[in-house]
Structure 1
Amino acid sequence: MYATTFTVAQIRAAEAVLLAAETEPDQLMRNAAHSVFRVAELMLGWATLADDHFPSDSPTRTLILAGPGGNGGDALYAGAELALAGRKVDACLTAGDAHERALNAFTNAGGTVLEALPEERWRYIETYALAIDGITGIGGSAGLRPELAGAVELLNQGREYGVPVLAVDLPSGIEADTGLGGGLHVTADVTVTFGGWRRAHVLNPACGVQLLASLELPHMSINEPLVDTLPEWAADGPPLLSANRAVVPSPLAGGWPEDMTTLRPAPVTNTAPGPEDDKYSGGVVGIRAGSDTYPGAAILCTAAAINATPSMVRYAGPQALEVVRALPECVVTQKLEDAGRVQAWVFGPGAGTDAAAAQELRWVLAQEVPVLIDADGLTLIAEHAELRELVKERREATVLTPHDGEFERLRKAVGVEASNRYEEVRALATAMKCSVVRKGRVTLIAPEEEFFWVLGVDAGHSWAATPGSGDVLAGIAGAYLALGHARDWPVEFALAGAVSVHAIAAKLAAGTPYGDATAPASRIVEFVREATAQSHRKEPFVI
């Protein structure tokens, strides 16, 4: 399931409908605050179990950082509920004032307003079990004011010692529509939002665990007016950004509230062969990877493709003998033209960037099948204008899979203006007339040309940030591209599934009986099959 995100303008338009229907002051705000309260109660139990510096029978104390706007009001109303539930709650008003009714409710419930934050880190850590961030809301720009640096530093240091941060709507300093954080922003362990996902929830991992609570009055909810903000044909309005998360964490104190939604993994189409399938019919992929300098790239990429789908994998390149020794089921050859029929090509991991490699890429681009270009292939695309023109002229799907550094070189070569990751990936896909998979903790998949939809996948962890991991993803995605070509899947859906499987495999690879540790690319490959099986289960993969 692909979850739609909404812009600030869309959220505000939908909220205006409910605000006009309120029958008592702050009815909607108190509704949102109750969701914050429920998550805060859960996290207080989580923090107590997770950190030894809280005795099991000690009362837990919460610190609220409240700005003058609606999010500060949400946080203070939530603090009032915590106080009425017997919790000790302090609040610091970051602008010197706050939403008046929410502040009155907070103090009347027994909450304490601080004149200043604790100056010493250790005093903060020993005093508080949870911090609630309500400094700014969805109207805030990227980055916070310099005078808030001390507060942000205190929260960040506290997180390192087991004092989690719960953000209201968005971590303060994160821009809702772009996910940009500027030089100063809060990093949250959990963010609870209301009614509909904001773009930043998938664009910036600083949101932590993303939770979506309902937003409603007794006689209506925000769902209908929010959907009404979507144009009948999405190309007539703001481009859509979907939100998915491959690995969903669960707190130590049990599951998240049942009526709150977490981001779910992108759907992964079943790769199982049908009764009529054979080794040739289910997406044969050809791989040109590796060289004398980078022999491991050939094995990693090919092994990933073999483990991703049941179909044949053909390898063509100088590491043919090494590949077949490691992977006897692979069909190998030294030359591209001898590889035989395939339904997609992968070109680039460790393949080299010299004139011979450029000529091989020209040959691959001339084939009338989908082509995925990664690593050294991307360098060749950035350096050779005629190769970029060949990509633009192709009729079959072409997929570029850059990480941010490779993307920057491509962006400059093509002449795409610098902006944010989301806008840049759309612009590059349009300029190159191909699909672009911009890799990272959050991977963005932009379809070719002026399409209205971008797929965003938050891995949910960063264990895939390791050498060779991209080669593994190229193999999985190439196999899915070939299978999608055989079964007539939309290219972007196949790619989103591959990204999710890769992220799950990396998390599984990091697992040990004692907790997570490094996940080398060779180990990620070993878990592609398990990750595939996990991706087909009804429930998402939970840490």
Structure 2
Amino acid sequence: MRGVWTPDRIRAAEERLFEAVAEPVVMRRAANGVALHVRRLLGERAGGVAGRHVTLLVGAGNNGGDALWAGALLRGRGVGVTAVLLAPDRTHGEGLRALRAAGGRALAAEGSSGLTSEAVGALRRGDVVVDGVVGLSARGGLRPLAAEAVGHVGAPVVAVDLPSGVDPATGLVEGPAVSAEVTVTFGGLKPCHVLEEGAARSGRVRLVDIGLIPYLDEPDFTVLDPEDAGAAWPVPSPEDDKYSQGVLGVAAGSASFPGAAMLTAGGAVRTASGMVRYAGPAADAVRESWPEIVATGSVGDTGRVQAWAVGPGIGTGSNGREVLARVLEEARPVVADADAITLLARDAALWDARDPETPLVLTPHDGEFARLAGERPEDRVAAARETARRYGVLLLLKGNSTVVAAPDGRVLVHPSGHAWPATAGSGDVLTGMLGKLLAAGVEPLRACGCAVLVHARAAEIAATGSAEHGGRAPRVGGDEEGRAERTVGAPIGASALLAAVPAAIREVRAAATASVR
């Protein structure tokens, strides 16, 4: 599990670090990490470092200083280095002197009519470009000169700490911004690496230890890794039977929407052993698709369950309301999705049917969230955390970066790095998966994180046609190389995602096994 800290928390830790270690020493540690990952990227893309050229795009302050020091180190490995200075009068002095002493070249970016032709040539010539424009204090998109410079970059980019133009605290992009192949960050992950567009623009995030870790307190939120999900995933022991592993009740679908029932029930079946009971008007269709499911026509006839998954396709009329009320009255952990969220958002009396001590997980996308909260989320972490607290629920806010907030303030984030689950019915599969994990007794916040991670990986496996890395899925901040640049995917439907769930589970379980060897 990886911690994520806000920029303010990181800066406070840095101040404490600088009291113990001289700032230039810390800067050189950071620069060494940047230079290391530039060399690795040169090896990937150009076959080696000797005779290659790196261009540094340098802003004012320490972020630009890290880039300059990295350039000096690269010169020592035979790499040609040119620094394009966006603010020559405010460039980090020691870093610039170090680059020049190592034989690197520096030139001003701006001439009398904007970006100089010399700067354009340097930016186009680089085999790799290092983004050292702005750091954690930045807000808003790139300024015009920096935006013009980035527009001439065709080579892969290594970003120092974060891609310039991305909001460090939210991951939002409100103007021109850098898209990095690799982002080298220091001490701890920041929100921009895992949230919103910032997660995609960060590329592969590489975490470098500069001595900051002892000065960081508890993280603001966390990212679940594959081995965490694999370690928590329920599998049968020799003493288990079909009842001891958890029985999930599924209340989903209708005569008009039987597919919602089949996908939700299928997500449960393919997630864990044990038993699934279905209650609803699509019982015949569910039996035909999943003969191992015990299907009945109503919630009252279902029998004993350990948890419920309710909502997809039940409708928002009186029948759907009755189904949801009956499920809530059973005082079992509940995953409520789709129509169930709409019903809860518009009918306050339904909340009275719920036992407030029993876990309730709501799984809205942004539009459904707006029905609950009155507006679409901007700061997704803050919005999810506040809504979870207000309603006393676990709030799983779906998106490319899914945010899971518990009522006690704990937050998990999963940056999927792709959008393959953005297809009709994939949310139904997730509802069934999460419900089965709750029925099996997985702690609710951990169950949400596990389900989201495996669901996203299953979509990727289905879209790309293969399970890679021998069961070791890449993770934010890890050492594994990303797969996005090596695989080409095709759009999928929810049925393909569902079929890939077992392969994704095998991957995370293999990762858990490998991590303890």
- Equivalent residue number for residue 318 of structure 2: 355
1:429-448 correspondence runs (5 A): 429-448=388-407
**In the alignment, residue 306 of structure 2 is paired with which amino acid?**
Q
**In the alignment, residue 241 of structure 1 is paired with which amino acid?**
F
CA distance in structure 2 between the partners assigned to 1:30 and 1:507 by the alignment: 38
**In the alignment, residue 12 of structure 2 is paired with which amino acid?**
A
- Equivalent residue number for residue 468 of structure 1: 425
| CA contact 2:123–2:129 (8 Å) conserved in 1 | no
1:119-152: per-residue Cα shift (whole Å, max 9, x none)?
7999788623212111111122243334433234
1:83-482 correspondence runs (5 A): 83-96=75-88, 97-116=90-109, 127-155=125-153, 158=154, 163-203=155-195, 204-205=198-199, 206-215=201-210, 221-226=211-216, 229-230=217-218, 240-244=220-224, 266=229, 268-391=231-354, 394-412=356-374, 419-448=378-407, 451-482=408-439
1:276-296: per-residue Cα shift (whole Å, max 9, x none)?
321122111111122233322
**In the alignment, residue 169 of structure 1 is paired with which amino acid?**
D
- Equivalent residue number for residue 40 of structure 2: 42
Q: What TM-score, normalized to structure 2?
A: 0.87
| CA contact 1:118–1:124 (8 Å) conserved in 2 | no
- Equivalent residue number for residue 9 of structure 2: 10
CA distance in structure 2 between the partners assigned to 1:242 and 1:505 by the alignment: 21
CA distance in structure 2 between the partners assigned to 1:149 and 1:387 by the alignment: 51
Shift of 1:22: 4.0
CA distance in structure 1 between the partners assigned to 2:510 and 2:70 by the alignment: 36
- Equivalent residue number for residue 476 of structure 2: none
Q: What TM-score, normalized to structure 1?
A: 0.83
Are 2:482 and 1:525 equivalent residues in the alignment? no
CA distance in structure 2 between the partners assigned to 1:540 and 1:148 by the alignment: 46
Shift of 1:384: 2.0
| CA contact 1:265–1:457 (8 Å) conserved in 2 | no
| CA contact 2:414–2:452 (8 Å) conserved in 1 | yes
Shift of 1:435: 0.5
Shift of 1:118: 7.6
Shift of 1:169: 1.0
CA distance in structure 2 between the partners assigned to 1:174 and 1:245 by the alignment: 24
Check 1:490–1:244 CA distance in 2 against 1; reply closer, same or farther (3 A cut).
closer
1:429-473: per-residue Cα shift (whole Å, max 9, x none)?
01111111111221111112xx23211122233222222211111
Check 1:154–1:359 CA distance in 2 against 1; reply closer, same or farther (3 A cut).
farther
- Equivalent residue number for residue 68 of structure 1: 60
| CA contact 1:382–1:388 (8 Å) conserved in 2 | no
Q: Secondary structure of the residue that 1:527 maps to in structure 2?
A: helix
Identity between Structure 1 and Structure 2 (%): 40
1:310-354: per-residue Cα shift (whole Å, max 9, x none)?
111111112111111111111111212111111111111122222
CA distance in structure 2 between the partners assigned to 1:9 and 1:214 by the alignment: 18
**In the alignment, residue 160 of structure 2 is paired with which amino acid?**
V
Q: Secondary structure of the residue that 1:64 maps to in structure 2?
A: strand
| CA contact 1:365–1:394 (8 Å) conserved in 2 | no
Q: Secondary structure of the residue that 2:232 maps to in structure 1?
A: coil
CA distance in structure 1 between the partners assigned to 2:118 and 2:61 by the alignment: 28
Check 1:423–1:59 CA distance in 2 against 1; reply closer, same or farther (3 A cut).
same
Check 1:124–1:359 CA distance in 2 against 1; reply closer, same or farther (3 A cut).
farther
**In the alignment, residue 290 of structure 1 is paired with which amino acid?**
G
Are 2:465 and 1:512 equivalent residues in the alignment? yes
Q: Secondary structure of the residue that 2:440 maps to in structure 1?
A: helix
Are 2:508 and 1:535 equivalent residues in the alignment? yes
CA distance in structure 1 between the partners assigned to 2:169 and 2:379 by the alignment: 10
Q: Which runs of 5+ in 2 are unaligned?
A: 110-114, 467-486
| CA contact 1:265–1:500 (8 Å) conserved in 2 | no
1:363-408: per-residue Cα shift (whole Å, max 9, x none)?
11111101101112212222222234545x5331100001122212
CA distance in structure 2 between the partners assigned to 1:106 and 1:154 by the alignment: 23
**In the alignment, residue 303 of structure 2 is paired with which amino acid?**
G
Check 1:152–1:331 CA distance in 2 against 1; reply closer, same or farther (3 A cut).
farther
| CA contact 2:423–2:493 (8 Å) conserved in 1 | yes
CA distance in structure 2 between the partners assigned to 1:20 and 1:121 by the alignment: 38
| CA contact 1:142–1:174 (8 Å) conserved in 2 | yes
Are 2:444 and 1:491 equivalent residues in the alignment? yes
Alignment length (residue pairs): 485
CA distance in structure 2 between the partners assigned to 1:140 and 1:134 by the alignment: 12
Check 1:149–1:126 CA distance in 2 against 1; reply closer, same or farther (3 A cut).
closer
Shift of 1:498: 1.2
CA distance in structure 1 between the partners assigned to 2:450 and 2:241 by the alignment: 22
CA distance in structure 2 between the partners assigned to 1:267 and 1:454 by the alignment: 19
**In the alignment, residue 494 of structure 1 is paired with which amino acid?**
A
- Equivalent residue number for residue 28 of structure 1: 26
Check 1:351–1:198 CA distance in 2 against 1; reply closer, same or farther (3 A cut).
same
Check 1:137–1:431 CA distance in 2 against 1; reply closer, same or farther (3 A cut).
same
Shift of 1:177: 2.9
Q: Secondary structure of the residue that 1:427 maps to in structure 2?
A: helix
